[in-house]
Structure 1
Amino acid sequence: MFKKILVANRGEIACRVMKTCKRLGIATVAVYSDADRHALHVEMADEAVRIGPPAAAESYLLIDKIVEACKATGADAVHPGYGFLSERAAFPEALQAAGITFIGPNPGAIEAMGDKIESKRRAEAAGVSTVPGGAGELASAEEALAIAEEIGYPVMIKASAGGGGKGMRIAHSADEVKEGFDRARSEAASSFGDSRVFVEKFIVDPRHIEIQVLGDKHGNVIHLLERECSIQRRNQKVIEEAPSPLLDEKVRAEMGAQAVALAKAVHYDSAGTVEFVADQHANFYFLEMNTRLQVEHPVTELVTGVDLVEEMIRSAAGEPLRLTQEEIRPNGWAIESRLYAEDPDRNFLPSIGRLRRLQMPAEHRGETTVRVDTGVVEGSDISRFYDPMIAKIITHGSDRLAAIDEMADALDRVSIEGIRHNGTFLGALMAHPRWREGALSTGFIAEEFSGTAVLPLDDDTRLRMAAVAFAEEAREAARREDFGPHPAPNPAHLSALFDDGSRVDGHVEHAGAGWRVTLDGRAIVVIRDDAANPRVWVGSLDGAPLAMGCEHMVQSTAFSFRGRRASVRVRRPRIADLTALMPEVSAADGGKKVLCPMPGLVVSLSVKAGDKVDDGQPLAVIEAMKMENVIRAERSGVVKTVHVAEGASLAVDTVILEFE
Structure 2
Amino acid sequence: MFSKILIANRGEIACRIIKTARRMGIKTVAVYSDADKRALHVEMADESVHIGPAAAGESYLVMEKIIAACRRTNADAVHPGYGFLSERAAFAKALQAAELVFIGPNPKAMEAMGDKIESKKCASAAHVSTIPGYLGVIADPDHAVQIADEIGYPVMIKASAGGGGKGMRIAYSASEVADGFARAKSEAASSFGDDRVFVEKFIVDPRHIEIQILGDKHGNLIYLGERECSIQRRNQKVIEEAPSPFLNDAMRKKMGDQAVALARAVGYDSAGTVEFVAGQDGSFYFLEMNTRLQVEHPVTELITGIDLVEQMIHVAAGGKLALTQADVKLNGWAVESRIYAEDPTNNFMPATGRLVSYRPPAEGTHQGITLRNDTGVYEGGEISVHYDPMIAKLVTHAPTRQQAIASQCHALDAFVIDGIRHNIPFLSALMRHPRWHAGNLSTAFIAEEFKGGFALSEPTGCLARRLAAVAAAIDDLSAVRQHAISKSVRGMLARPHRRERVVMLHAARFDVSVETTSDGCLVRFDRDEEPAHIVVSDWRPGQLVWCGTVDAENMAVQVRPVLNGMTLAHAGTHVKARVFTRREAELITFMPSKKVDAADTQLHCPMAGVIMLIAVEVGQEVKAGDPLCVIEAMKMETTLHAARTGVVSKISVRTGDLLAAEAVIMEFA
TM-score bucket of the superposed structures, by smaller chain: over 0.9
Taking the aligned partners of 1:530 and 1:498, their CA distance within structure 2 comes to 20
Alpha-carbon contact 1:133-1:199 (below 8 Å) kept: yes
Alpha-carbon contact 1:83-1:162 (below 8 Å) kept: no
Which blocks of at least 5 consecutive residues in structure 1 are unaligned?
Answer: none
Taking the aligned partners of 2:51 and 2:567, their CA distance within structure 1 comes to 43
Give, as a single letter, the amino acid of the residue that structure 2 aligns with 1:91. Answer: F
**Are 1:510 and 2:512 matched, yes or no?**
no
Alpha-carbon contact 1:428-1:455 (below 8 Å) kept: no
Taking the aligned partners of 2:552 and 2:357, their CA distance within structure 1 comes to 29
Taking the aligned partners of 1:561 and 1:625, their CA distance within structure 2 comes to 29
Structure-to-structure mapping, 1:392-403, within 5 angstroms: 392-403=393-404
**Are 1:495 and 2:497 matched, yes or no?**
no
Relative distance call for 1:502 and 1:449 in structure 2 (3 A) is same
Alpha-carbon contact 2:505-2:578 (below 8 Å) kept: yes
Corresponding position of 1:235:
235
Alpha-carbon contact 2:387-2:634 (below 8 Å) kept: yes
Deviates further, 171-180 or 524-533: 524-533
Corresponding position of 1:69:
69
Specify the SS of the correspondent of 2:166.
coil
Taking the aligned partners of 2:542 and 2:500, their CA distance within structure 1 comes to 28
Q: Following TM superposition, by how much is the alpha carbon of 1:532 offset from its aligned partner in structure 2, in angstroms? A: 9.4
1:627 counterpart (609, 632, 636): 636
Taking the aligned partners of 1:356 and 1:89, their CA distance within structure 2 comes to 40
Corresponding position of 2:447:
446
Specify the SS of the correspondent of 2:51.
strand
Give, as a single letter, the amino acid of the residue that structure 2 aligns with 1:411. Answer: L
Deviations 1:513-565 (A, max 9, x none): 42221123431232321469811001233444332211121222211222332
Q: Following TM superposition, by how much is the alpha carbon of 1:590 offset from its aligned partner in structure 2, in angstroms? A: 3.3
Deviates further, 63-72 or 636-645: 636-645
Identity of aligned residues (%): 58
Taking the aligned partners of 1:567 and 1:617, their CA distance within structure 2 comes to 36
Structure-to-structure mapping, 1:32-47, within 5 angstroms: 32-47=32-47
Q: Following TM superposition, by how much is the alpha carbon of 1:583 offset from its aligned partner in structure 2, in angstroms? A: 5.1
Corresponding position of 2:650:
641
**Are 1:345 and 2:339 matched, yes or no?**
no
Give, as a single letter, the amino acid of the residue that structure 2 aligns with 1:443. Answer: A
Alpha-carbon contact 1:87-1:292 (below 8 Å) kept: yes
Alpha-carbon contact 1:536-1:549 (below 8 Å) kept: yes
Corresponding position of 2:210:
210
Taking the aligned partners of 1:438 and 1:543, their CA distance within structure 2 comes to 27
Alpha-carbon contact 2:345-2:456 (below 8 Å) kept: no
Corresponding position of 1:467:
469
Deviations 1:605-649 (A, max 9, x none): 111212222321111101111111101112222211101111111
Corresponding position of 1:651:
660
2:582 counterpart (573, 589, 604): 573
TM-score by length of 1: 0.97
Corresponding position of 1:423:
424
**Are 1:6 and 2:6 matched, yes or no?**
yes
Q: Following TM superposition, by how much is the alpha carbon of 1:480 offset from its aligned partner in structure 2, in angstroms? A: 2.2
Alpha-carbon contact 1:428-1:454 (below 8 Å) kept: no
Give, as a single letter, the amino acid of the residue that structure 2 aligns with 1:90. Answer: A
**Are 1:404 and 2:424 matched, yes or no?**
no
Deviates further, 225-234 or 424-433: 424-433
Specify the SS of the correspondent of 1:440.
coil
Q: Following TM superposition, by how much is the alpha carbon of 1:453 offset from its aligned partner in structure 2, in angstroms? A: 4.4
Taking the aligned partners of 2:598 and 2:338, their CA distance within structure 1 comes to 35
Q: Following TM superposition, by how much is the alpha carbon of 1:455 offset from its aligned partner in structure 2, in angstroms? A: 6.0
Taking the aligned partners of 2:573 and 2:551, their CA distance within structure 1 comes to 21
Give, as a single letter, the amino acid of the residue that structure 2 aligns with 1:434. Answer: R
2:546 counterpart (530, 534, 537): 537
Taking the aligned partners of 1:279 and 1:576, their CA distance within structure 2 comes to 56
Give, as a single letter, the amino acid of the residue that structure 2 aligns with 1:632. Answer: H
Corresponding position of 2:305:
305
Taking the aligned partners of 2:64 and 2:413, their CA distance within structure 1 comes to 44
Give, as a single letter, the amino acid of the residue that structure 1 aligns with 2:220. Answer: N
Taking the aligned partners of 1:189 and 1:33, their CA distance within structure 2 comes to 21
Structure-to-structure mapping, 1:149-548, within 5 angstroms: 149-366=149-366, 367-450=368-451, 451-454=453-456, 457-482=459-484, 483=486, 489-499=496-506, 501-519=507-525, 520-521=528-529, 522-530=531-539, 534-548=543-557
1:555 counterpart (564, 578, 583): 564
Specify the SS of the correspondent of 1:539.
strand
Relative distance call for 1:246 and 1:533 in structure 2 (3 A) is farther
Deviates further, 628-637 or 181-190: 628-637
Give, as a single letter, the amino acid of the residue that structure 2 aligns with 1:464. Answer: R
Taking the aligned partners of 1:535 and 1:439, their CA distance within structure 2 comes to 35
Alpha-carbon contact 1:532-1:538 (below 8 Å) kept: no
Specify the SS of the correspondent of 1:81.
coil
Relative distance call for 1:71 and 1:258 in structure 2 (3 A) is same
Alpha-carbon contact 1:271-1:312 (below 8 Å) kept: yes
Specify the SS of the correspondent of 1:256.
helix
Deviations 1:451-507 (A, max 9, x none): 3245662422111111111111111222222328766544221112122x3221111
Deviations 1:435-465 (A, max 9, x none): 0010001111111122324566242211111
Taking the aligned partners of 1:389 and 1:25, their CA distance within structure 2 comes to 28
Give, as a single letter, the amino acid of the residue that structure 2 aligns with 1:264. Answer: R
Deviates further, 28-37 or 501-510: 501-510
Specify the SS of the correspondent of 2:365.
coil
Specify the SS of the correspondent of 2:222.
strand
Taking the aligned partners of 2:607 and 2:497, their CA distance within structure 1 comes to 49
Equivalent residues, number: 659
Corresponding position of 1:89:
89
Taking the aligned partners of 1:453 and 1:270, their CA distance within structure 2 comes to 43
Relative distance call for 1:137 and 1:571 in structure 2 (3 A) is farther
Deviates further, 36-45 or 474-483: 474-483
Alpha-carbon contact 2:478-2:541 (below 8 Å) kept: no
Specify the SS of the correspondent of 2:364.
coil
Taking the aligned partners of 2:433 and 2:153, their CA distance within structure 1 comes to 30
Specify the SS of the correspondent of 2:388.
coil
Q: Following TM superposition, by how much is the alpha carbon of 1:331 offset from its aligned partner in structure 2, in angstroms? A: 0.5
Specify the SS of the correspondent of 1:365.
strand
Q: Following TM superposition, by how much is the alpha carbon of 1:133 offset from its aligned partner in structure 2, in angstroms? A: 1.0
Corresponding position of 1:607:
616
Give, as a single letter, the amino acid of the residue that structure 2 aligns with 1:481. Answer: H
Q: Following TM superposition, by how much is the alpha carbon of 1:59 offset from its aligned partner in structure 2, in angstroms? A: 0.4
Deviations 1:333-358 (A, max 9, x none): 10001011111111111111111111
Alpha-carbon contact 2:513-2:523 (below 8 Å) kept: yes
Q: Following TM superposition, by how much is the alpha carbon of 1:289 offset from its aligned partner in structure 2, in angstroms? A: 0.4
Give, as a single letter, the amino acid of the residue that structure 2 aligns with 1:393. Answer: L
Give, as a single letter, the amino acid of the residue that structure 2 aligns with 1:198. Answer: F
Taking the aligned partners of 1:642 and 1:613, their CA distance within structure 2 comes to 14
